[in-house]
Structure 1
């Protein structure tokens, strides 16, 4: 696959616009003309895009490149980022361009109305930096936000309300990372998404299925007018969808920087949309103007001959992955077949132990003490590993006591549902970015404003501020606080150099998805695509989950005999990763979604 040369940028973007129309999907939008036949310049593109149009799980092979690579959840977003890399942009430049396109084409998962965590490796300085773009609670938020008559309200009642919307953080985080590591002009990175929003893109099978299944989105007039036909039917696969409102929003942000989003008309529109919901929220223009993304020191820990790095709290993801990997290093799992009964048992038991600690100890470190060093101490993890019985499940495990806190911390039972996205990029200079971004549940709060959806991330907080014993829950709601997350953008190092970038959507299951894939590459010797494609399994300290419709079904009876409560579940993980080898780059995109790995 060859990208169009630098001298044909206009032709390149015309090509991008018609890609979705080249897949064989019917164009049925009566309100917009069908796209013209693709110019000859797009011939090389069609081969890469067409297989991704098929619904359902498709076979994938590892993608190899010499100089640069990007993997994202949608071919158009991957194409946008790859174009930036081809033109000499940095990894963060490319990720910004991809995220703006994802706001348009994958609105069920992420966008500028949500938040993100970014892990960035700078080759020149050989340093790593993380950026916390997690949403924050409004200044008016109180601990009883989701309580009524002393009991938590229904989860979906909280989601589908103005009370679930936190101050979006992804734009501020991207701007902060761009200031540190960007090369191309900020405004130029928005051009692909602006053009696509104006000219249109074809609805994919995944977007259509998500729209068809979502009834709450139809209840919001502004969202319904964009996502459904006048009869309330989801736009069919191939419908040519345009979003001029988003194009205008992105144009303002491109011209004036992130302040155009956090102050002025867009901020006022966000606040007004939240306030006029049937269940109004308390977000203010002062909350918007006061938002700041944060630079944080990465969380790094040894794992055998590697160093595994990721986002520190308020994300629990990398912390739990590090715990799982090091607990498993005390077991024979690396010598077992990846889909064997023993391997799935050991992996699930390690997950129980990590999730038990996560539920008690992890929250926004500006509000509570998170005993990170104690939780990843080799001696502590050795004690935890000793609790694993190689022939019997321990069921729901209690937390450890890494820093003498167990008696004063309550358990958080908050839900984290799987609507998120992950992007990884490596540029010509060897810079690496791993970013996970989200609007929380599918289509977030369902509040649609200025062409994009607002998050419902505040439902990631514990609804109850204390547990049944009256102990405070670390992840309780407080003004200005960032809710705990399971997002796990990670970079693996070896002898001071990056060897792998990985991450996934999937709610709390992200932790198991990412741990499985790292284990697959580092211990089982799989290539990145094979590790991603491996059926998903694990436990979140409740039942043991096996990916439905896979070969893992044959293990169910054996696991049950070992004491596991087994549930076969859908596990559309959306893992995206790149492995850096002495001979080049190897990329993988999850066959459970519509993503694409691309490089040169």
Structure 2
């Protein structure tokens, strides 16, 4: 990035773009850039994840002297086993790392479309497939990125040997793990996907075709063998050789929507260091993932538009506060649908989208006493009229986890296979993603191409929003992220505002419901105190306010005051999920 742009926006600007990271290696060995044992520990660290067994895997790495990045990778691998409906090595993710000096680096392990993909990838006989018809089978599968992401991050910040990170996941897959209520419920909800592949049926369904009940111990020796090979031989063993051949063949011969993917597609895949997007919200510095994720920009745009309002004085019980949050999100979502895409394929006006003057103009559209109704995208600097605005894409699933190590360095990692159990295809004991349905299935709108259309080698837009927040003293204050498709940015925004503006603990901030814009309506999470705000929100002009159940799932870590000035890390997990925290 041109440093003149960065300097022109700092320090007075609300938001700045962080300097680009240098190209990083893809090899697995630990880096000398990792924190050293001689560094004075502040706290033993903590891990938070969507499953206690995965959190324990991360804590084991911290106990062995590993870094936050080591712990996060171990969690990702363990979740491949115990939470296969949400993430794993058959999918991709985004990782944000942060250290005690304020340096933030981000890693893009988002899946890519194969070389054979065209903008009409999801058209059959000239008609665009419905989302539900596009998900199962081979056409929705992108080249997985998590293993390359893990290798790149480990080469940069890993401390333990690569093979050690696989130990907990190998044990879980080989020795067996018990089916949890959430996994059982998801199997019952999506049996056609979870059981699409014979390997999936054999793992998770009985002889009568019904999903295995809660508590059943499942062993996945194929996945254990896959892990053992990657642990011994490195990431190349996933992208080259037998695994690559099996993966490409599975996609090409899928029982639903077979599609061309070659071993060359896998061999060519690389994770990428990306520019983080960072900015100031009041006295705090917030950093997240930039494009192809739309999540970080959406979070920063929303916070920037809200900064002029005294949310602290309003408090979390104020319908006006939630109205303002939803209005700011509505504006950010409109910009997302118009401009956010893979920056290697479309000119994304990231700097313009988070420019303080632009955000002030967008904020001026928001009123405390009325809704703006339907939001239109703005015209940020650097925007082009080459692309048409497209509606939101269907997003589901996903998982977030985070770790802080004994040196105070953090890893915030969001990972996904997209829908529950991804495409339903399995290779080597893991599910393959359906991430290509995060593209706009219809490549055009009103005669213009959409920025987020399918193209060969392109990464689909995402809502994933892993964040780190620094306090005014320069110390990390909060690490957070969420799962749940387009609900991810509103969940993360709720955690940031809850902890920073409303002085809630991270646990209580996550426990709040959410109010957020949805297509044609304002959605309020049913079963929460916010559902009682429906009449007040209607009085603010929201014609259609609906209270609906939401499958939310967030995780966070915060730095909190302790007795005698001994501050410490506290993990937080969502009570709606089976999330847990663990310490070494």
TM-score by length of structure 2 reads: 0.89
> Which residue, 129, 132, 145 being the options, matches 1:153?
129
The aligned counterpart of 1:455 is: 433
Q: Distance in 2 between matches of 1:226 and 1:272?
A: 21
Instruction: Establish whether residue 205 from structure 1 lines up as the match of residue 176 from structure 2.
Output: no
Q: Distance in 1 between matches of 2:397 and 2:213?
A: 21
The aligned counterpart of 2:556 is: 577
Root mean square deviation of aligned Cα: 1.4
> Which residue, 479, 496, 511 being the options, matches 1:501?
479
> Which residue, 234, 240, 265 being the options, matches 1:287?
265
The aligned counterpart of 1:97 is: 74
Q: Distance in 1 between matches of 2:199 and 2:46?
A: 37
Q: Distance in 2 between matches of 1:405 and 1:67?
A: 46
Q: Distance in 1 between matches of 2:415 and 2:385?
A: 34
Q: Is contact 2:199–2:429 with CA below 8 Å preserved after alignment?
A: no
The aligned counterpart of 1:399 is: 377
Residue 410 (structure 1) shift:
0.9
Q: Distance in 2 between matches of 1:173 and 1:516?
A: 28
The aligned counterpart of 1:588 is: 572
Q: Is contact 1:109–1:438 with CA below 8 Å preserved after alignment?
A: yes
Q: Is contact 2:537–2:545 with CA below 8 Å preserved after alignment?
A: yes
Residue 378 (structure 1) shift:
1.0
Q: Is contact 1:68–1:427 with CA below 8 Å preserved after alignment?
A: yes
Q: Distance in 1 between matches of 2:82 and 2:374?
A: 39
Q: Is contact 1:89–1:427 with CA below 8 Å preserved after alignment?
A: yes
Instruction: Establish whether residue 352 from structure 1 lines up as the match of residue 336 from structure 2.
Output: no
Q: Which moved more, 1:98-107 or 1:146-155?
A: 146-155
The aligned counterpart of 1:364 is: 342
The aligned counterpart of 2:229 is: 252
Q: Distance in 2 between matches of 1:447 and 1:414?
A: 25
**CA 1:356–1:595 in structure 2 vs 1: closer, same or farther (change >3 Å)?**
same
Q: Is contact 1:208–1:236 with CA below 8 Å preserved after alignment?
A: yes
Q: Is contact 1:414–1:460 with CA below 8 Å preserved after alignment?
A: no
The aligned counterpart of 1:39 is: none
Deviations 1:311-357 (A, max 9, x none): 11000001100010111112232321213211121111111000000
What is the 5 A alignment of 1:185-584?
185-217=161-193, 218-278=195-255, 279-403=257-381, 405=383, 407-468=385-446, 470-494=447-471, 495-540=473-518, 542-564=520-542, 565-581=544-560, 583-584=567-568
Where 1:597 maps in the other structure, the secondary structure is strand
Instruction: Establish whether residue 139 from structure 1 lines up as the match of residue 115 from structure 2.
Output: yes
Q: Is contact 2:131–2:394 with CA below 8 Å preserved after alignment?
A: no
Residue 482 (structure 1) shift:
0.5
Deviations 1:155-204 (A, max 9, x none): 11111120100000011001100001001010011011111111111110
Where 2:553 maps in the other structure, the secondary structure is coil
Residue 413 (structure 1) shift:
2.2
Q: Is contact 2:102–2:470 with CA below 8 Å preserved after alignment?
A: no
The aligned counterpart of 1:597 is: 581
**CA 1:225–1:213 in structure 2 vs 1: closer, same or farther (change >3 Å)?**
same
Q: Distance in 1 between matches of 2:464 and 2:421?
A: 17
> Which residue, 29, 47, 50 being the options, matches 1:70?
47
Deviations 1:521-556 (A, max 9, x none): 111111111101111221146421111111122111
TM-score by length of structure 1 reads: 0.87
Q: Is contact 2:196–2:425 with CA below 8 Å preserved after alignment?
A: no
Structure 1: 4+ residue segments shifted above 3 A: 148-151, 404-408
Q: Distance in 2 between matches of 1:542 and 1:435?
A: 31
Where 1:194 maps in the other structure, the secondary structure is helix
What is the 5 A alignment of 1:157-168?
157-168=133-144
Deviations 1:383-404 (A, max 9, x none): 1111112222222200011126
Q: Distance in 2 between matches of 1:345 and 1:590?
A: 23
Residue 68 (structure 1) shift:
0.5
Mark the runs of 5 or more structure 2 residues left unpaired by the alignment.
Answer: 1-41, 562-566
Q: Which moved more, 1:213-222 or 1:91-100?
A: 213-222
Q: Is contact 1:486–1:510 with CA below 8 Å preserved after alignment?
A: yes
Q: Distance in 2 between matches of 1:273 and 1:226?
A: 18
Q: Is contact 2:86–2:419 with CA below 8 Å preserved after alignment?
A: yes
Mark the runs of 5 or more structure 1 residues left unpaired by the alignment.
Answer: 1-64
**CA 1:150–1:406 in structure 2 vs 1: closer, same or farther (change >3 Å)?**
farther
Deviations 1:22-68 (A, max 9, x none): xxxxxxxxxxxxxxxxxxxxxxxxxxxxxxxxxxxxxxxxxxx9421
> Which residue, 104, 112, 116 being the options, matches 2:93?
116
Residue 570 (structure 1) shift:
2.0
Q: Is contact 2:348–2:383 with CA below 8 Å preserved after alignment?
A: no
Deviations 1:261-295 (A, max 9, x none): 00011111111111111221111100000000001
Q: Is contact 1:409–1:472 with CA below 8 Å preserved after alignment?
A: yes
The aligned counterpart of 1:183 is: 159
Q: Distance in 1 between matches of 2:79 and 2:157?
A: 21
Where 1:419 maps in the other structure, the secondary structure is coil
Q: Is contact 2:43–2:408 with CA below 8 Å preserved after alignment?
A: no
**CA 1:228–1:146 in structure 2 vs 1: closer, same or farther (change >3 Å)?**
same
Residue 74 (structure 1) shift:
0.4
**CA 1:394–1:126 in structure 2 vs 1: closer, same or farther (change >3 Å)?**
closer
Where 1:576 maps in the other structure, the secondary structure is strand
Query: What is the number of residues matched between the two proteins?
Result: 534
Where 1:594 maps in the other structure, the secondary structure is coil
Q: Distance in 2 between matches of 1:305 and 1:540?
A: 30
Q: Is contact 2:494–2:514 with CA below 8 Å preserved after alignment?
A: yes
